[in-house]
Structure 1
Amino acid sequence: MKYAFLSFISGVFLWTSAVAQQHSEQNHDKYVWPKDETVKQKLNSWQTIKFGLLMHWGTYSEWGIVESWSLCPEDEGWCERKGPHSANWYDYKKAYEGLQTTFNPVKFNPERWANAAKQAGMKYMIFTTKHHDGFCMFDTKQTDYKITDKKTPFSSNPRSNVTKEILNAFRQQDFMVGTYFSKPDWHTEHYWWPYFPPKDRNVSYDPKKYPELWKKYSDFTYNQIEELMTGYGKVDILWLDGGWVRPASTIDSTISWQRTIPYSQDINMARIAAMGRQHQPGLLVVDRTVSGEFENYVTPEQQIPDHYMPIPWESCMTMGNSWSYIPKENFKPARKLIQTLVDIVAKNGNLLLNIAPGPDGEWHEEAYQRLQEIGKWIAVNGESIYDTKPLAPYRQGQWAFTTNSQARYVSYLPTDSEKLLPASLTIPSLTTSPKAKISILGSTQTLKITKTQDGISVSVPEKVRQQLANQPVWVLKIVG
């Protein structure tokens, strides 16, 4: 991860300034709708489920540091090395890669994760099978830098192929499942060729000058993805990260971070996508930030568009401050997370919320608590989220609008100080028929409606206000 969308069509707000670490502005006018009918059907289904789980997990969790990026020899805050080996990059890389020999997540229990995610209302899951550091959380045959290698203590565990175990556990709970896969690999000599020490995140040689070496890397990448597409059951989404690995023809010179890409790094996405869909018909391919036919939905990171977007999109965001495990995480309140979900859905997006397992194979207990709180709200108000479409004016002030074939839903997002729903609500830009009935989810009482110049006014009885006190979002349901 570690992208920051510095401009997002007409603007965005930043979730936290600390995550503004890579520059991933993108022109979404270049979005290409899929032509394959099975892909279109899968994409339509994905757009109805709204809420997913992302997990960043690897050997880096042992040190409680940023995922992969401390290996990157760039003078950026998120690449900073710390600890006894930090003074020398070569010593640091050796020590970092030595974490393979101590990684032993003995509390690994993906069924607990899947149960907690399901109870929270999540319906799809993306797992980091390999991040930029190249350590494989699956049983690849292409390298021994993997969790199942004999050098790794956890390899003796019958569940050592954690990708397979995680995908199985979530499929058993009826989740769509996806594999995060990093296109760059900073471990293999075919990407960071030792003859030329790496200068930055990019390949350390010019692929045009050394085509045989680049072909080995492209085949290595293809073979690993094929392993994931053939040996791990049904896979719904191939979620590709590392947008600097791209053909020169896709580099947009108007976007600052793309101007820094020194070489064409073409791994032949057409070949990869065709292979993936041969094994997994309807597979959604998400080649992040590379606009075109292999980016089936776009993925603003740690940010939310400030307006409705008519294309498929997903905000990927952290439950705490970090993508990777840190010992003391600052988790966002459930109230904020629920309001974030409501905001995103009203603008036509999905929320992919990241939780990072630790070196022992467990989440922070506070993460489970947050999911329980979200689940309580979803149990009452989920009908305003799932299988809905945005309704104009989408988001206006503290209001969010969605609809389905049975009803319209108007969500009120209170400020932190609002503990009770106002006794009188003026809903802007909304009209109703004389036969319309309005209620608040969680209460069966029909409310009184009065037409106003700008919309409608709804009276909320004191009994209902008290009954539904302290909600993160109140949802009004309008039928008729």
Structure 2
Amino acid sequence: MKRRQLLKQMGAAIPAVALSGVARAADAIAQAGPGPIAAGPFSPEWSSLEQYRTPDWFRDAKFGIWAHWGPQCEPESGDWYGRAMYEEGGDAYRNHLRKYGHPSRFGFKDVIHQWKAERWDPDALVAFYKKAGARYFVALANHHDNFDLYASRHQPEWNSTRVGPRKDLIAGWSRAARANGLRFGVSVHAAHAWTWYETAQGADKNGPLAGVPYDGNLTRADGKGLWWDGLDPQGLYAQRHPLSKADGDGGVNHEQWHWGGGAAIPDQAYCDKFYKRTRELIDTHDPDLVYYDDTVLPLWPFSDVGLRLAAHMYNRSIATKGKLGAVVNGKILNAQQRRALVLDVERGQLNQIEPLPWQTCTCIGSWHYDRRVYDNNAYKSARTVVHILIDVVSKNGNLLLSVPVRGDGTIDEKEHAIVEEVGHWMARNSEGIYDTRPWAVFGEGPAMREAPAMSGAGFNEGKTKPFTAADIRFTAKGKAVYAFLMGWPENGEVVIESMRSGGPHLAKRVARVELLGSGRKLAFRQTAQGLRVTLPADKPALAYANALKII
């Protein structure tokens, strides 16, 4: 892509992102692109990618489960451990001192070495998730920790076949997903390692080891005689560069996440390596979905690597399958980018029916396994998961649910019980979830009257009123409308105002109402005030959400 074109696209991408240093990076990219893409109708430009159409398999699936699992699960201390363990005084730092020792002597590379995944059984886990109702399964391919969980020619030293489990985890997950008839996806997060690991360049400011550097700047020569003899830590940490501006926008949690705010901009070699690693992942494991944990796409807006990867995946899908069946998730998208990718909203929900399919991703606990969530009984309940699923599907979205995996490759018994209960609910009600589309309105009731504001990539989860029996969500399929009651009315009756006689949403009078999963026809009256339905006296076991099938 020519420099002028690249700069034009960068400037139009995200107005909030500071573009200092972008012109210099664009010069380098224009001179030396990261490599070829598959031949096909898509080129790495928004004007081409916006011709994308979301495949029906994704629109029909509605529910996926995600194994957000990697070496950061080994300490059982929560998300972003590989960064936070170098933040003096923080929870992860204190936990690291207790469990492993000082990060100048035992760094994240050493945590990876201890991670063995010795009880991992992908076939059993994926079969369990299928039984719970998942139609697609997503596995973490790498995180911001820059460690590839597959055999990687372009990350040959720091991948799970070389260090840690010594297994190709993505290959195992892929085989299990396909053996169970599920669509398979991968999540890719490693573009941010450049700035995310900058804490590893630091040192304590206080205490007996004040001023002793952490291990973020070690090189291959420093490993002589140690377990990592022959390995280059810079292949993992990528820290031989100046730090981002300390007086920037608050660091990697804010505008520096979007490569603005004084963020250190990765060099061309880093961008090229990321492209090659990710293209190899796509070509080798043939995922149906790639989730990028990035604003828009990886390394955007200063690099077109993400555009190339999206175009490559779309073209490859057409070439190998005869039609476009690929999904690429991106975050914080403008209108044009929304047409080119499938929007992902992290730990949050939209408050209207979206014309284009989208996805929310959330977790029943911490993104990486956290023993404290288990100890404090702080997981999301099955009720909460079901309510999120219904609400998202009513607005043309999918739910991707992460179930945290322990370092050894298992889920705990509390997680197992939650997923199992979701499966029981899906067995009764999934007809109103799978293969549906939004109805005329997504719902009614008090919870929808207070729409919580979105923040960046999402993060408005749990900020609205809890759902009650007064809240209803709708989906549609064929001639049927499904009205999900988000609780069981104590008086045994529900009035659906959106289905009143003479209202704008129904072309004909209601002919039949039944309680989904039971086959029981229910008594009803359609009046000018609404559709009044008398519910059975014996409420279902999982009464927190049940669907009325209305024809």
- The answer, yes or no, to whether TM exceeds 0.5 is yes
Say which SS state the counterpart of residue 393 (structure 2) adopts.
helix
Say which SS state the counterpart of residue 217 (structure 1) adopts.
helix
Q: 1:279 — aligned with what?
A: 316
- Distance change >3 Å, CA 396–CA 467, structure 1 → 2: closer
Q: 1:412 — aligned with what?
A: 485
Q: Do the aligned partners of 1:437 and 1:446 also contact (CA within 8 Å) in 2? A: yes
- Distance change >3 Å, CA 80–CA 73, structure 1 → 2: closer
Letter in 2 for 1:355: V
- 1:453, distance to aligned residue in structure 2 (A): 2.3
- 1:78, distance to aligned residue in structure 2 (A): 8.7
Match of 2:416 among 352, 362, 368: 368
Q: Do the aligned partners of 2:158 and 2:236 also contact (CA within 8 Å) in 1? A: no
Which of these two proteins has the greater Rg computed from alpha carbons? 2
Match of 1:65 among 50, 70, 77: 77
- 1:452, distance to aligned residue in structure 2 (A): 2.4
> What is the CA–CA distance in structure 1 between the aligned matches of 2:353 and 2:510, rounded to whole Å?
29
- Distance change >3 Å, CA 107–CA 63, structure 1 → 2: same
Normalised by the length of structure 1, the TM-score is 0.77
Q: Do the aligned partners of 1:139 and 1:146 also contact (CA within 8 Å) in 2? A: yes
Letter in 2 for 1:334: A
> What is the CA–CA distance in structure 2 between the aligned matches of 1:76 and 1:388, rounded to whole Å?
50
- Distance change >3 Å, CA 83–CA 76, structure 1 → 2: closer
- 1:93, distance to aligned residue in structure 2 (A): 8.9
- Distance change >3 Å, CA 78–CA 375, structure 1 → 2: farther
Say which SS state the counterpart of residue 471 (structure 1) adopts.
coil
- 1:466, distance to aligned residue in structure 2 (A): 0.8
> What is the CA–CA distance in structure 2 between the aligned matches of 1:196 and 1:93, rounded to whole Å?
22
> What is the CA–CA distance in structure 1 between the aligned matches of 2:81 and 2:294, rounded to whole Å?
12
Match of 2:267 among 193, 209, 214: 214
Q: 2:443 — aligned with what?
A: 395
> What is the CA–CA distance in structure 2 between the aligned matches of 1:334 and 1:32, rounded to whole Å?
42
> What is the CA–CA distance in structure 2 between the aligned matches of 1:85 and 1:280, rounded to whole Å?
47
Say which SS state the counterpart of residue 406 (structure 2) adopts.
coil
1:196 and 2:228 equivalent? Answer: no
Unaligned runs of 5+ in 1: 1-24, 251-264
Percent identity for Structure 1 against Structure 2: 22
The range that moved more, 269-278 or 288-297, is 288-297
Letter in 1 for 2:109: E
Letter in 1 for 2:512: K
- 1:309, distance to aligned residue in structure 2 (A): 2.1
Match of 1:243 among 288, 295, 311: 295
> What is the CA–CA distance in structure 2 between the aligned matches of 1:71 and 1:306, rounded to whole Å?
33
- Distance change >3 Å, CA 370–CA 92, structure 1 → 2: farther
Q: 2:174 — aligned with what?
A: 167
- 1:68, distance to aligned residue in structure 2 (A): 3.2
Q: 1:8 — aligned with what?
A: none
- Distance change >3 Å, CA 93–CA 352, structure 1 → 2: farther
RMSD between superposed Cα atoms in Å:
3.5
> What is the CA–CA distance in structure 2 between the aligned matches of 1:76 and 1:184, rounded to whole Å?
21
- Partner deviation per Cα, 1:224-259 (whole Å, 9 max, x = no partner): 011111212x311111113397677x5xxxxxxxxx
- 1:77, distance to aligned residue in structure 2 (A): 11
Q: Do the aligned partners of 1:218 and 1:267 also contact (CA within 8 Å) in 2? A: no
Q: 1:128 — aligned with what?
A: 140
The range that moved more, 308-317 or 290-299, is 290-299
- 1:195, distance to aligned residue in structure 2 (A): 4.1
Match of 1:465 among 524, 527, 537: 537
> What is the CA–CA distance in structure 2 between the aligned matches of 1:275 and 1:79, rounded to whole Å?
41
Say which SS state the counterpart of residue 115 (structure 1) adopts.
helix
- Partner deviation per Cα, 1:72-122 (whole Å, 9 max, x = no partner): 699899996333559xx9935952121122111111101111111111111
Q: 2:306 — aligned with what?
A: 269
Unaligned runs of 5+ in 2: 1-15, 18-45, 198-233, 319-323, 446-470, 502-507
> What is the CA–CA distance in structure 1 between the aligned matches of 2:74 and 2:58, rounded to whole Å?
34
Say which SS state the counterpart of residue 499 (structure 2) adopts.
coil
- 1:178, distance to aligned residue in structure 2 (A): 1.2
Q: 1:310 — aligned with what?
A: 355
The range that moved more, 386-395 or 68-77, is 68-77
- Distance change >3 Å, CA 189–CA 380, structure 1 → 2: closer
In proportion to residue count, which structure has more helix?
A: 2
- 1:190, distance to aligned residue in structure 2 (A): 9.7
Letter in 2 for 1:268: V
Number of residue pairs matched? Answer: 414
Q: Do the aligned partners of 2:174 and 2:184 also contact (CA within 8 Å) in 1? A: yes
Q: Do the aligned partners of 1:121 and 1:378 also contact (CA within 8 Å) in 2? A: yes
1:74-473 correspondence to structure 2 within 5 Å: 81-85=93-97, 91=103, 95-143=107-155, 144-149=157-162, 151-152=163-164, 154-155=165-166, 160-182=167-189, 183-186=191-194, 188=234, 192-197=238-243, 200-201=251-252, 214-232=267-285, 234-243=286-295, 265-281=302-318, 282=324, 283-291=326-334, 292-293=336-337, 296-320=341-365, 322-328=366-372, 329=374, 330-397=378-445, 398-414=471-487, 418=488, 422-431=491-500, 433=508, 436-460=511-535, 464-466=536-538, 468-473=540-545
- Distance change >3 Å, CA 245–CA 457, structure 1 → 2: closer
Normalised by the length of structure 2, the TM-score is 0.67
- 1:50, distance to aligned residue in structure 2 (A): 0.6
Q: Do the aligned partners of 2:147 and 2:236 also contact (CA within 8 Å) in 1? A: no
- Distance change >3 Å, CA 197–CA 370, structure 1 → 2: same
Letter in 1 for 2:168: N
Q: Do the aligned partners of 2:77 and 2:369 also contact (CA within 8 Å) in 1? A: yes
- 1:395, distance to aligned residue in structure 2 (A): 1.4
- 1:455, distance to aligned residue in structure 2 (A): 1.4
- Distance change >3 Å, CA 41–CA 394, structure 1 → 2: closer
> What is the CA–CA distance in structure 1 between the aligned matches of 2:303 and 2:364, rounded to whole Å?
34
